[in-house]
Amino acid sequence: MTKEIRHITVIGAGNMGHQIAISAAIAGFQVICTDQNPDALQRARDFADTYLAGRISKGRMSEQEVTKTKAGLRFETSLAAAVQQADLIIEAIIEKLEVKRALFSELDTLCPPRTILATNSSYIVSSQIASATNRPDKVVNMHFFNPALVMNLVEIVKGPHVSAETVELLEAVSIQMGKTPIVLQKEIYGFVVNRMLQATRKEALNLLDSGVASVEDIDQAVMKGLGYPMGPFQLLDLTGIDLAYHVGMEKYQSSGNEADKPSPTIVEKFEKGEWGKKVGKGFYIY
């Protein structure tokens, strides 16, 4: 099945994007990672060099395997050049619907008719994006988890517009990348994993906002009492408090429900620029 998917383009060279790109290149796909920000691309390139060198030193990959991976991984600032041969595009940009729709509309004109257009979003369902293209059957959610080089799961969502062939191809790609795909048979906000996490995160923020317990103690309770590998505030710092803010605002703007607004603590940290590990400070200092 994956013979039909040889060339993959990942749009967005941030933490998620460049790790998805490296994962695909290790799996043997021809991969281009593209971003309009040359600094982001350089950081992605540097990360790839460091990560792959580390795989050799740890005995996880041979020098030949790393050489082959690097030969199959390219970084490109030109969107048109990056997508012209793509069989599959994975978008990993900001969680804003209008930005994604504009990008997918542009991709629809730049890509071959065969190209599958996947979004890594776990909150914006692909049916909200598909109408910006002339290929709705090939527009789909393919959600990786952070960090994508480590996390095994991929959520694929079969919206009402998505063809069975598209889903089967993405399952095959996921398996070739060493991932475990699960298929959601219908669209739902947050999919499976994030709905579970969101319930824990919402209550953790309620406890913090109410002054019941500290960030550190809530994280310890969740890890030691529930067996989670990290606490909800540690996870927020890892995935990005700015992402949590944008996701909450998108949901609120869509539903009009005040309860869907981001927590006051999330809003405060977003406005202060305390977005988590990537900026050195969030709920913790790094």
Active site residues: 122, 143, 155, 194
DSSP, collapsed to helix, strand or coil, labels residue 237 as helix
Q: Distance between CA atoms of 219 and 228, rounded to whole angstroms?
A: 9
R_g of the chain computed on alpha carbons? 19
Q: Distance between CA atoms of 115 and 207, rounded to whole angstroms?
A: 46
Element containing residue 46 per DSSP (H, E): helix 38-57
| CB atoms closer than 10 angstroms to residue 94 | 13
Q: Distance between CA atoms of 133 and 117, rounded to whole angstroms?
A: 10
Q: Provide the pairing of β-strand 139-144 with 153-157.
A: antiparallel
